[in-house]
Amino acid sequence: MGFFSRLFRDKLALTGLLIVLGFFVLSVTSQYIAPYDPSMIDVNKILSPPSKAHLFGTDELGRDVFTRMLYGAGISLKVGFVAVGIAVIIGTVLGALSGYYGGLMDIIIMRFVDIMLCFPSFFLILAVIAFMEPSIFNIMAVIGFTSWMGITRLVRAEFLSLKERDFVLAVKAMGASNARIIFLHILPNAMAPVLVSATLGIAAAVLTESALSFLGIGVQPPTPSWGNMLTQGQNVLGIAWWLSFFPGMAILVTVLGYNLLGEGIRDAIDPRLRQ
C-alpha cells in the first residue's frame, strides 16, 4: 500500500487535509469572495451582531468581521508557510553538514543547536521583535530563524544512518563529490521526517504569529490578522462576543487541521508507528 493510499485511509488525516485545503482556498480567493472591503468603515453598523448582511457581525468601526477574517487567513497562513520554509532551509543545510561530515563540524553545529534550545523560543522571539519594527516580514523572518533547531536534529540523525548505507558507499566508490552525495543521494531519502516536522511547524508558526499580534507586536492594524482581531475583541467581549469567538475558532481549527495532517503523514510514512 502506497503513501497516499495509507494517508487517505486515515480519516483524521483526511479531515486535517480538508481543513488545510479549505483555509488555503479561502485565503487565495479572499479578494474575490469577500463581500466587503476589509477597511471599509460604516458608523451605522458599529458592533452589529451576526446577520445575513454581516455573517460574523461587525467590529468597533463597523467593518465586516467575515471579510477581515478571510483576509486574515491569508496573512496568518503566509506567515506559517514562509517561516517554516526559512526554518526548513536552515535546519536541513546545517543538519546535512553535521551528519555527513561529523567530527569538529558536527560538534560546533550541535553545540550551537544546544545553546539555541536553552532559550524558550517564544521569549527569544519577543526579545528579537523588541528591537525591530513590527511587520509581517519581520515576523516571518524571526519565527523562521528561531525554529530550525528541531529540523537540524532530525536531518542529522537521518544522515548519520544513511551515509553508511551501501548505495552511498557505492556512489563514493564511483568518485562522486560530497555535494552530489549530500544533495542528490542522501537528502531525498532524509526528507520524510522533515515533511512531518514542517507540517506541524506551520501550526506552531500560526499560533506564534497570532500570539505576537495579540500582544500588539505582530501584524499591525489596519492589516487584519486573526491575532490582532482577538486583541480588538477583548475590549468589548461582554457586548460583542463574535469579535473574539470567530477569530479564536479559526485559529483553533487551523492548528487542529495541521496537527491532524502532520500526524497522518507521519503514520503514512512509517505504518509501524500504528502498532
Could you list the pLDDT tens digit for every one of the 275 residues in the chain? 577 788 888 888 899 999 999 988 988 888 888 888 888 888 888 888 999 888 999 988 889 999 999 998 888 888 889 999 999 999 999 999 999 998 899 999 999 999 988 887 778 787 777 777 777 888 888 889 888 999 999 999 999 988 888 888 898 888 888 888 988 888 888 888 888 889 889 988 888 888 888 888 878 878 888 888 888 888 888 888 999 899 999 999 999 999 999 888 888 886 555 54
The count of C-alpha atoms lying within 13 angstroms of the C-alpha of 206, restricted to the half-sphere facing its C-beta, is: 29
Write the CA distances from 68 to 30, 95, 116, 122, 178, integer angstroms.
Answer: 9, 40, 36, 26, 50
What is the spatial distance between Cα 224 and Cα 25, in angstroms, rounded to a whole number? 18
**CATH architecture assigned to 3-274:** Orthogonal Bundle (1.10)
User: How open is the CA angle 64-206-269, to the nearest 5 degrees?
Assistant: 130
Query: Among residues 122, 147, 128, 130, which one has the least CA distance to residue 216?
Result: 130
Cα 67 to Cα 34: distance, rounded to the nearest angstrom = 5
Residues sharing a CB contact under 8 Å with residue 53, sequence separation 6 or more, in sequence order:
none
For 118, the grid coordinates are: 536553552
The three three-digit cell numbers of residue 74, written as one number: 491569508
**What pLDDT is recorded for position 149?**
92
Distances 266 to 18, 21, 154, 191, 259 between C-alpha atoms, Å:
17, 18, 13, 12, 11
Residue 96 amino acid letter? A
pTM here is 0.86
Give 41's contacts (C-beta < 8 A, 6+ positions apart): 61, 62, 63
